[in-house]
Structure 1
Amino acid sequence: MTEIIRTLSDAYLTKPSVITIGSFDGVHRGHVQLIETVKRRAQAQNAASVLITLHPHPKQVLRPDSNLLLLSTLEERLELAAQQGLDYIVVFPFSLEQSKLRAREFIQLLRNHLNLIEIVCGPNFALGYKREGTIEVLRALGAEMGFSVTVVEPCQFGEGILSSTRVRALVADGRVAEAAQLLGRYPMLRGIVVHGDHRGRELGYPTANLETPANKLIPANGIYAVRVQLGGEWFDGAASIGVRPTFGGGKRLVEIFLFDFTRWIYGEELKVFFVERLRDELK
């Protein structure tokens, strides 16, 4: 079972570890390929397999005006990564102060807290202040400090490299079926059911207005076929995302329509899995 350590300073591993480091937004197929290499390398050396996830996303810290919206919240990321069978997942609290750590200082932290013996990463990976810890620099530090670096080639999917940026662009454009191919599952939005304007009841169908987390990427406006999880139950439904143009506009809303469903579920959490975009909003 995967152990989740909420901050690096709380980790003190006695067993050697093979690690990978990144944001891992969405935990897509490319991330899974990297994780599988970590697990294989760790098993071959009787070491622990460790994933370090940076939180908040470095871009949100270093470029707060970027308004970056993410595929997964921290809790969703931890849940998805834990499904991959790692020994440990460690959260590295990223801040402006931490961004100024030199590569050597960063590696020393990993040696002290995780008993690092190997880093598994992609070819463009770098860590430390101004990304000074390139592959070449890390290998030089490894020769001095006693760890190795294994580079995994990027995962190709279709016409390009699989990346969180590419998946985010698809979701933002409403192309959820294509995003699902890259993620290995349907894009998901989790939220609490809150009181809305009760338009759905007036129109003759049940609706659940979803309050979604801040900084979470919501698919483009439109109508979607969805699968919805409520506790241990699953339902088919449709999702309407937009500003309710039929009623004269307003703020952007996420409304879920559950088929053959009449219960009151205010205050409960729904997990909404986007299967396919059906059409634009009604005008």
Structure 2
Amino acid sequence: MMPNRVIAIGDFDGVHRGHQQILLQLNEWAASLHAEPMVLSFDANTKGQKIITDNRVKDWYFSQYGIEHWQVLHFEQWKEMAAEDFTDHFLKEELQVVGLVCGQDFHFGKDRKGNEFTLISRGITVKKLKSLMVEDLRVSSSMIRTYLEAGELEQAEARLGHPFCLMGEVCRGKGLARQYGQPTVNIPLSSRQLLPPYGVYAAWVEAEGSRYPAAANIGVRPTVESGGEPNLEAHILRDSPDLYGCEIRIELKAYLRKETRFESREQLFAQIQKDGEHSLTRLEMLK
């Protein structure tokens, strides 16, 4: 028999502090009802913007908040369904939803005509939480996106409640850094992924249960190739393991410098050495 469920619905882009209070309330309420907590999250930003967190990162953060079950909704498939039909046929009949936790600006269904009253009128209890404020401004994915695009990682982190991070499986690079004694780990970047300005960042790399300080570069590596796709490359600064094929998480903590084209590879790798020292200093300051 399918369990009753208490759910939350939304983009959850960034899984920021406002989302986190929804997840905490979701777990607490579901436990009190002996129901299953569940998140329904869309596969793309519903406003057509680049995403702060892809599904891999969302899954990691949801697991940190005890959400074992979540489902990706394909926005194009659902956007034309009337809120009443979505409630009756999907939420109630298919998922057995008895309660929903939401924020202040909650709307759903075709033309965003559905709201908490649509659900209440159809027998679903709703808990609507107040917006979370930081410096008298509502925490929102749009605000965080603005800070990230400007490279203001500390402002973004204060509202995210965690560092901005990217995840992926380590892929083979060209091996140039290894030739200079500075091996790096590379993960591919989606064209849908929102990125801070190209440049070098103080970072942490998390892999296989361990954390490593790093200097990470986001950009197109103009010194070693032209016309390349954006890439995330991290130089692990201590105890560099072989992580090829492993899934890693890279937390960007502070902007160090813009991406630069050097006259030679020797100049580039001399600068990478300096970037590593600078990164260690910044990471120590940010502890």
Q: TM-score range by the shorter chain?
A: 0.7 to 0.9
Check if 1:14 corresponds to 2:3: yes
SS of the counterpart of 1:25? coil
SS of the counterpart of 1:165? helix
CA drift of 1:214 comes to 4.5
SS of the counterpart of 2:143? helix
**Any residues of structure 2 matched to 1:240-259 within 5 Å, and which?**
240-247=217-224, 249-251=226-228, 252-259=230-237
TM-score relative to the length of structure 2: 0.79
Distance 1:262 1:184, change over 3 A: closer
SS of the counterpart of 1:42? helix
In the other structure, the counterpart of 1:210 is 187
CA drift of 1:262 comes to 5.5
Distance 1:269 1:151, change over 3 A: closer
Check if 1:275 corresponds to 2:253: yes
Query: Gapped runs of 5+ residues in structure 1?
Result: 1-11, 60-65
Check if 1:77 corresponds to 2:92: no
CA drift of 1:261 comes to 4.5
Contact 2:56 2:167 (C-alpha < 8 Å) held by counterparts: no
CA drift of 1:256 comes to 1.1
Distance 1:39 1:250, change over 3 A: same
Match of 1:99 among 75, 79, 87: 79
**Count of residues in Structure 1 that have an aligned counterpart in Structure 2:** 259
CA drift of 1:203 comes to 4.7
Counterparts of 1:279 and 1:69, CA distance in 2: 23
SS of the counterpart of 2:170? strand
Match of 1:130 among 78, 87, 111: 111
Check if 1:146 corresponds to 2:127: no
TM-score relative to the length of structure 1: 0.80
Query: Gapped runs of 5+ residues in structure 2?
Result: 262-287
Counterparts of 1:90 and 1:158, CA distance in 2: 32
Counterparts of 1:75 and 1:209, CA distance in 2: 17
RMSD: 2.5
CA drift of 1:45 comes to 3.8
Deviations 1:139-167 (A, max 9, x none): xx523x32222221111112411112222
Counterparts of 1:168 and 1:238, CA distance in 2: 22
In the other structure, the counterpart of 2:94 is 113
Counterparts of 1:213 and 1:77, CA distance in 2: 15
The one-letter amino acid paired with 1:26 is G
My pick for the range that moved more, 109-118 or 24-33, is 109-118
Check if 1:166 corresponds to 2:143: yes
Distance 1:203 1:35, change over 3 A: same
**Any residues of structure 2 matched to 1:39-78 within 5 Å, and which?**
39-59=27-47, 66=48, 68-78=49-59
Counterparts of 1:228 and 1:14, CA distance in 2: 38
CA drift of 1:49 comes to 2.7
CA drift of 1:92 comes to 4.2
Match of 1:24 among 6, 12, 21: 12
Deviations 1:219-259 (A, max 9, x none): 22111111112323321110122233445753233221111
CA drift of 1:21 comes to 0.8
Percent of pairs with identical residues: 27
The one-letter amino acid paired with 1:14 is P
Counterparts of 2:12 and 2:186, CA distance in 1: 29
CA drift of 1:33 comes to 0.8
Which aligned segments of 4 or more residues in structure 1 are displaced greater than 6 angstroms?
none
